[in-house]
Amino acid sequence: MPKPIIYEVAPVAGGWLVRIAGDSQSEAFRDKAEAIGRARQLAARAQGGVRVVTDTGRVEIEYGPPGPGART
């Protein structure tokens, strides 16, 4: 079974970045909550997860893939 896609939310100058871990494509947001919401939306479509990291690279929180019957 393939590994689920993980979307990372990370701080950047002036906002927050949403990207697939290890990929260069990204979306930028000014608000952290908006960035997390977008990452969770993308992850739900791909049955993936979300990882929010600090500016030092420490994992702040993770949201796993939705389980069977989970509502998003």
Give residue 27's pLDDT: 95
Residue 31: HSE in the Cβ half-sphere, 13 Å Cα cutoff: 4
Question: How far is 16 from 27, CA to CA, in rounded Å?
Answer: 8
Question: How far is 69 from 39, CA to CA, in rounded Å?
Answer: 20
pLDDT tens, position by position, 17-71: 999 977 888 999 999 999 999 999 999 988 899 999 999 989 999 998 755 544 4
Give residue 15's pLDDT: 97
pLDDT tens, position by position, 1-28: 677 899 999 999 999 999 997 788 899 9
